[in-house]
């Protein structure tokens, strides 16, 4: 085998195949390997791959031999043990300066560990977030590569070429060293969870409080998609709500069980927020909301015992739909504010030089949370690269100020009618808490000192104090 391929890829499930085709379409010769050889053969012989610069390899050794040095090999395998297994197989075959790219949704701590191990062995490791699902992998994903600048210099041009483009700009930048790429991708997913949950809560209010039909809701979401809320998730929501089940003639959403799965990245985002002490309640609520949804049999049984809500809407439905739009956007701003604050904290903690404004740029296309509003985030970081929280930016501040009446009416109506809206409530509380110069924690400090002599600070002088509370 002559070493002519520009890059290699291991793992030919749908994402791997689509990424390989995308790379080949951009004129790069790609060598591919899959644990089950038949899968590789079927792919290489498929009409999609036929005639493209795709080189099928029967063994890992063939794959390594087929790639020009320094070699770059992308792993597109399931996160967790399979990544370590493939690295263990590849490692003895590689030479100093070669690069292993992990394109899966790996935990950033695993990426940091693998980076340490491979760096010690003279190799480069690039933990790389790739967003956009199967379609994105094929036609242009958003790519978040971590690792050394030297490795990025080699692989970056290929990634930029295959990524989505917005206004001619590739949706791919070097995110930072070791785990930065996977951390940012995980946070993307955390925001994705929050965004989806917020949309789902708004949908449930339209349905359960206003009694709108799926068709009416589809029209509303489609209209919203023309304005500030313009985004992939709103677009697919409109599409989903407009689709009808051929078997029953009912709207598709009515025949789907209200129980959502999850693969773990939302949990990871929330766990990182807890570890780093960053308030990201709306993201966490979205994860808990999935856990609540998963209690389907228990909820059905509880409804019989505790009684279901009996919502009654009195008022102007069209005006409330407008309120829902403002509430959704304001809440979404809070979810993004939490996600960006989390990246900022991780960047400080791990010494990454991640550029938050540029992260928002590469999320404008290709990825699941792509949205028009990401341009506004970029502008916010242009105005103030050291921006502490998106809510402090003049544009977002003005927007939330203007929308907060609607936001409160929506949350108030949901609460009054017994309808659960955990993410909308949490986003509003986040906003209210963030703008409170004085919170409730004076009492918490007193309680801690009361039962555990944990001491407290005073408002009128420096230092730490303890009081003998039992003395009175
Ligand atoms: C993406 C997505 C993707 C993720 C799915 C499902 O950016 O392309 O985030 O990486 O796997 O969204 O995630 P859950 O199963 O956890 O909902």
pLDDT at site 453: 97
CATH number, domain with residue 50:
3.40.50.720
Quote the distance between the C-alpha of residue 107 and its chain's center. Answer: 13
Which of 134, 143, 187, 263 to mutate to test ligand 1, by most ligand atoms within 8 A of the CB atom? 263
Q: How far, in Å, is the centroid of ligand 1 from the Cα of 301? A: 31
The candidate with the shortest Cα–Cα distance to 46, out of 35, 26, 32, is 32
Q: How far, in Å, is the centroid of ligand 1 from the Cα of 289? A: 16
In a domain, 234, yes or no: yes
For ligand 1, is residue 69 a contact (CB within 6 Å)? no
Tell me if 342 sits within 8 A of 274, measured CB to CB: no
In a domain, 418, yes or no: yes
Q: Same structural domain for residues 189 and 174?
A: no
Q: Same structural domain for residues 194 and 122?
A: no
Cα–Cα distance, 77 to 93 (Å, whole number): 19
The candidate with the shortest Cα–Cα distance to 279, out of 411, 402, 441, is 441
Active site residues: 185, 192
Element (H, E) at 113: helix 108-120
Q: How far, in Å, is the centroid of ligand 1 from the Cα of 189? A: 6
For ligand 1, is residue 265 a contact (CB within 6 Å)? yes
Q: Same structural domain for residues 110 and 224?
A: no
Q: Same structural domain for residues 171 and 89?
A: yes
Can you name the residues that pair with 72 across neighbouring β-strands? 99
Cα–Cα distance, 262 to 257 (Å, whole number): 15
Backbone angles phi, psi at 422, to 5 degrees: -60, -40
For ligand 1, is residue 262 a contact (CB within 6 Å)? yes
Cα–Cα distance, 224 to 436 (Å, whole number): 31
Q: How far, in Å, is the centroid of ligand 1 from the Cα of 282? A: 18
CATH number, domain with residue 205:
1.10.1040.10
The secondary structure of 391-460 as a DSSP string is GGSHHHHHHHHHHHHHHHHHHHHHHHTT---HHHHHHHHHHHHHT-SS-SHHHHHHHHHHHH---B--SS
Q: Same structural domain for residues 57 and 165?
A: yes
Number of structural domains found in the chain: 3
Q: Same structural domain for residues 270 and 332?
A: yes
Element (H, E) at 461: none
Print pLDDT tens along the chain (472 aa): 677 999 999 999 999 999 999 999 999 999 999 999 999 999 999 999 999 999 999 999 999 999 999 999 999 999 999 999 999 999 999 999 999 999 999 999 999 999 999 999 999 999 999 999 999 999 999 999 999 999 999 999 999 999 999 999 999 999 999 999 999 999 999 999 999 999 999 999 999 999 999 999 999 999 999 999 999 999 999 999 999 999 999 999 999 999 999 999 999 999 999 999 999 999 999 999 999 999 999 999 999 999 999 999 999 999 999 999 999 999 999 999 999 999 999 999 999 999 999 999 999 999 999 999 899 999 999 999 999 999 999 999 999 999 999 999 999 999 999 999 999 999 999 999 999 999 999 999 999 999 999 999 999 999 999 999 999 9
pLDDT at site 1: 62
Q: How far, in Å, is the centroid of ligand 1 from the Cα of 309? A: 32
Expressed as residue numbers, the domain containing 145 is: 7-178
pLDDT at site 223: 98
Residue where one domain finishes, among candidates 178, 209, 239: 178
The candidate with the shortest Cα–Cα distance to 69, out of 33, 123, 118, 116, is 123
Q: Same structural domain for residues 100 and 247?
A: no
Atom 10 of ligand 1: nearest residue by CA position: 131
Which of 127, 192, 260, 366 to mutate to test ligand 1, by most ligand atoms within 8 A of the CB atom? 192
CB contact burial 423-443 (16+ within 10 A = b; e otherwise): bbbbbbebbeebeeeeeeeee
pLDDT at site 41: 98
Tell me if 14 sits within 8 A of 34, measured CB to CB: no
Q: Same structural domain for residues 338 and 365?
A: yes
Cα–Cα distance, 137 to 13 (Å, whole number): 12
For ligand 1, is residue 346 a contact (CB within 6 Å)? no
How many C-beta atoms surround the C-beta of residue 301 within 10 A? 11
Which of 104, 142, 265 to mutate to test ligand 1, by most ligand atoms within 8 A of the CB atom? 265
For ligand 1, is residue 189 a contact (CB within 6 Å)? yes
Backbone angles phi, psi at 78, to 5 degrees: -60, 140
The CA-atom distances, in angstroms, between 155 and each of 6, 68, 246 are 10, 12, 46
Tell me if 182 sits within 8 A of 153, measured CB to CB: no
pLDDT at site 252: 98
Q: Same structural domain for residues 58 and 203?
A: no
Residue where one domain finishes, among candidates 178, 209, 231: 178
In a domain, 423, yes or no: yes
Find the helix packing angle between 422-434 and 317-350, rounded to 10°. 60
The candidate with the shortest Cα–Cα distance to 290, out of 310, 311, 306, 270, is 270
Q: How far, in Å, is the centroid of ligand 1 from the Cα of 368? A: 8
In a domain, 383, yes or no: yes
Tell me if 94 sits within 8 A of 112, measured CB to CB: no
Q: Same structural domain for residues 360 and 454?
A: no
Q: Same structural domain for residues 235 and 103?
A: no
For ligand 1, is residue 192 a contact (CB within 6 Å)? yes
In a domain, 299, yes or no: yes
For ligand 1, is residue 324 a contact (CB within 6 Å)? no
Atom 2 of ligand 1: nearest residue by CA position: 131
Q: Same structural domain for residues 63 and 194?
A: no
The candidate with the shortest Cα–Cα distance to 299, out of 271, 257, 338, is 257
For ligand 1, is residue 368 a contact (CB within 6 Å)? yes
- The SS3 assignment for 169 reads strand
pLDDT at site 2: 77
The candidate with the shortest Cα–Cα distance to 154, out of 79, 243, 82, 70, is 70
Residue where one domain finishes, among candidates 148, 178, 208: 178
In a domain, 2, yes or no: no
């Amino acid at each position: 085998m002559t070493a002519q391929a520009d890059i290699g890829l291991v793992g030919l499930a749908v994402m791997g195949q689509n990424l390989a085709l995308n790379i080949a379409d951009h004129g790069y010769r790609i060598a591919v390997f899959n644990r089950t050889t038949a899968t590789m053969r079927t792919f290489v012989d498929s009409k999609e791959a036929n005639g493209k610069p795709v080189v099928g390899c029967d063994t890992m050794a063939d794959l390594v031999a087929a790639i020009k040095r320094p070699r770059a090999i992308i792993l597109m395998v399931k996160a967790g043990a399979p990544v370590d297994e493939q690295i263990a197989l590849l490692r003895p075959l590689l030479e100093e300066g070669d690069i292993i790219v992990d394109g899966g949704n790996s935990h950033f701590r695993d990426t940091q560990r693998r980076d340490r191990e491979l760096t010690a062995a003279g190799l480069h490791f690039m933990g790389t977030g790739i967003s956009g699902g199967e379609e994105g992998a094929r036609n242009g994903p958003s790519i978040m590569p971590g690792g050394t600048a030297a490795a990025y210099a080699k692989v970056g041009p290929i990634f930029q070429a295959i990524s989505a483009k917005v206004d001619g700009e590739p949706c791919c930048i070097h995110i930072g060293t070791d785990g930065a790429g996977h951390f940012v991708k995980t946070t993307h997913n955390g925001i994705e969870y929050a965004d989806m949950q917020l949309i789902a809560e708004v949908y449930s209010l339209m349905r359960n409080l206003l009694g709108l039909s799926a068709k009416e809701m589809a029209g509303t979401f489609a209209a919203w998609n023309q304005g500030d809320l313009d985004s992939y998730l709103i677009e697919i929501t409109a599409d989903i709500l407009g689709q009808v089940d051929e078997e029953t003639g009912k709207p598709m959403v009515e025949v789907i069980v209200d129980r959502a799965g999850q693969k773990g990245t939302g949990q990871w985002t929330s766990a990182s927020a807890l570890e780093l002490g960053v308030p990201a309640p709306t993201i966490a609520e979205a994860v808990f909301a999935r856990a609540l949804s998963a209690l389907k049999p228990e909820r059905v049984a509880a409804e019989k015992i505790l009684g279901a809500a009996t919502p009654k809407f009195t008022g102007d439905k069209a005006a409330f739909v407008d309120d829902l739009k403002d509430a959704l956007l304001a809440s979404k701003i809070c979810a993004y504010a939490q996600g960006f604050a989390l990246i900022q904290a991780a960047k400080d903690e791990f010494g990454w030089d991640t550029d938050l404004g540029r992260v928002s740029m590469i999320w404008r296309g290709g990825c699941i949370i792509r949205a028009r509003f990401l341009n506004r985030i970029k502008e916010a970081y242009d105005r103030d690269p050291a921006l502490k929280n998106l809510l402090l930016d003049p544009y977002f501040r003005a927007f939330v100020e203007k929308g907060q009446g609607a936001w409160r009416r929506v949350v108030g109506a949901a609460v009054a009618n017994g309808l659960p809206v955990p993410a909308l409530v949490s986003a509003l509380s986040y906003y209210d808490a963030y703008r409170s110069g004085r919170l409730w924690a004076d009492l918490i400090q007193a309680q801690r000192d009361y039962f555990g002599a944990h001491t407290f600070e005073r408002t009128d002088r420096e230092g730490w104090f303890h009081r003998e509370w039992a003395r009175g």
